[in-house]
Amino acid sequence: MDNRSEVRASLTSRRAKVSPELAGIPAYGSRRVAGLRRGEVAAIAGVSVEYYTRLERGNLAGASDSVLEAVARALQLDDIEIEHLHHLARAAGPTPARARARADRAPEVRPAIRRVLNSMTGVPAFLRNHRFDILAANPLGMALYSPIFAASPAPPVNSMRFNFLDPHAQAFYPDWAQVARSAVAALRIAAAQNPHDKQLMNLIGELSMRSEPFRSWWAAQDVYSHRHGSKRIRHPAIGELELAFEALELPGDESLTIVTYTAEPGTPSGDGLELLAAWAATHASQEARSTTAMSDGAPTRTS
């Protein structure tokens, strides 16, 4: 995959955000561009205008770490944006055939990972890949994300599709706009890290065609690392929960991440998680009885 257009859009958008005042340089004459001029970025970074122009036109192949760091300082990138720039530079170089071959390979969920998930009895937890497919979840995770699992006719469910294509998403996330915009920015990082993944590119294309908010936020070129934070969820059976999430990457399993949700004990959200566990257990018991009745050939009651 040629990532020149991605590089060009990323650098241009970041340059537009840095004014001469922010850069500490005088602004002479009328300015036809938002933010800094290319020559000003080049001067601050200590490279020639010709070389920076080549970079901004999308050719990051061969750019050294020192050059990338200099450009990052000139554009006043934060840590996540710097990491993203390095991902783009790596993707611009030659990709080993082995890496291309495994890009679309379905990750294997090892039995040990499933045991780890199921051992987390007090917290909702699930396993996702870089495409934001939910590959496995513990019972409490299934209960918390029940609207997401209900939205997909077949596994794996995809949280990005739920966020932008399911009409229940905005009710499930009280802060939907913030959640959805962060999701787009996290997906952009995943795209830079996995430029040869056709399924991921197809997902981005599908969301761009079917969701105007996704299309608008994707064009903004923002990046976000989904590592930890807080999220409000309005569960249809439990009500509103304020939960802290942690994204735990698995070094031995490429592109797989365990996400957990917790709440402070004794708080309304902590009590809500306990109620969610009871709700999940009740539903599991009802499903077990229904399955047993069906296997015995007994009729089942419908409400």
- The CATH number linked to 288 is 3.30.450.180
Is a pLDDT exceeding 70 seen at residue 96? Answer: no
Do 170 and 274 lie in one domain? The reply is yes
d(CA 282, CA 288): 10
Final residue of a structural domain among 36, 59, 94: 94
Q: What is the CATH number of the domain that holds 26?
A: 1.10.260.40
Do 72 and 188 lie in one domain? The reply is no
Q: Which residue has the tokens 């790596």?
A: 90
Helix (H) or strand (E) holding 234: strand 228-235
pLDDT in the model for residue 38: 94
Half-sphere exposure at residue 185, Cβ-oriented, CA atoms within 13 angstroms: 16
Do 47 and 159 lie in one domain? The reply is no
Is a pLDDT exceeding 50 seen at residue 302? Answer: no
Is a pLDDT exceeding 80 seen at residue 105? Answer: no
Do 273 and 182 lie in one domain? The reply is yes
At 147-172, the pLDDT tens digits run: 999 987 677 899 999 999 999 999 99
Q: What is the mean pLDDT of the chain?
A: 88
At 188-206, the pLDDT tens digits run: 999 999 998 999 999 999 9
Domain hosting residue 269, numbered range: 111-292
95 against 5, higher pLDDT: 5
Estimate to the nearest angstrom the gap between the alpha carbon of 162 and the chain centroid: 13
Q: Is residue 298 part of a domain?
A: no
Nearest CA to 25 among 82, 67, 76, 68?
A: 76
Cβ neighbours around 272 below 10 Å, total: 21
Final residue of a structural domain among 94, 120, 152: 94
Do 45 and 172 lie in one domain? The reply is no
**Where do the H-state alpha helices sit in 125-250?**
139-144, 146-151, 159-165, 169-172, 176-193, 198-210, 212-219
% of the chain beyond a pLDDT of 90: 75
Nearest CA to 56 among 164, 67, 289, 194?
A: 67
Do 129 and 239 lie in one domain? The reply is yes
Name the band, by pLDDT with cuts 50, 70 and 90, for residue 226: confident
Q: How many domains does the chain have?
A: 2
Do 185 and 217 lie in one domain? The reply is yes
User: What angle in degrees, to the nearest 10, is found between the helix axes of 79-92 and 176-193?
Assistant: 40
Q: Is residue 194 part of a domain?
A: yes
Nearest CA to 256 among 57, 121, 108?
A: 108
